[in-house]
Every structure is written in C-alpha cells, then in structure tokens.
Amino acid sequence: MKYLFLAISAFALTACQTETPMEWQLRKSFEQSSERACRDKKGTPLYEACYQRHMGKFNKFWEEVQARQLGVKKR
C-alpha cells in the first residue's frame, strides 16, 4: 500500500511539471534564435556568454508575457 501511494504521488508530481506544447515550442524557438544570434562567436570563449545573454532576454520576455496575459507571478 505504501508503494502504491508513492507511485501515485510520483506520477502526479511529474505530470504537473511537464511543459505544455506551447512552452516547448517557445523554448525551442528561443534556443534556435540564440544560436543564430551567436553564430559568429561559435567556438570561442564568448559563445557561452552570448548564448546565455540572449536566452536571458527571451526568458525575461516570456515571464513578462505570462505575468501580463496569464496572471502568473514573476519569479
């Protein structure tokens, strides 16, 4: 019985944390846009900083959209 409860709670926890198709599509488009924006720095030490900077901009934009349209609090 204890293991059944653990299995159900683990399933419920993971089911609640999955990305919606819209979030997945946005994340992929943000990643592709960041890769395109930093293409000229690929292979240099500056690539990671450039990529993280662009992903930060997109994540901030997405948090603002969620706060404005969906009523989700900003982190």
Q: How many structural domains comprise the chain?
A: 1
Mean pLDDT of 60-67: 85
For residue 8, being part of any structural domain is answered with no
For residue 16, being part of any structural domain is answered with no
Burial class (CB in 10 A: 0-12, 13-18, 19+), 64: exposed
What element of type H or E holds 65?
helix 46-65
Mean pLDDT of 22-34: 88
Cα–Cα distance list, 13 to 10, 16, 24, 61 (Å): 5, 5, 19, 27
Residue 42's pLDDT band, with cuts at 50, 70 and 90, is confident
Cα–Cα distance list, 21 to 6, 27, 43 (Å): 28, 10, 32
Range of the domain at 37: 21-75
Mean pLDDT of 4-17: 69
Residue 73 has pLDDT above 80, yes or no: no
Neighbouring CB atoms inside 10 A of 38's CB total 20
Q: What percent of the chain has pLDDT over 70?
A: 88
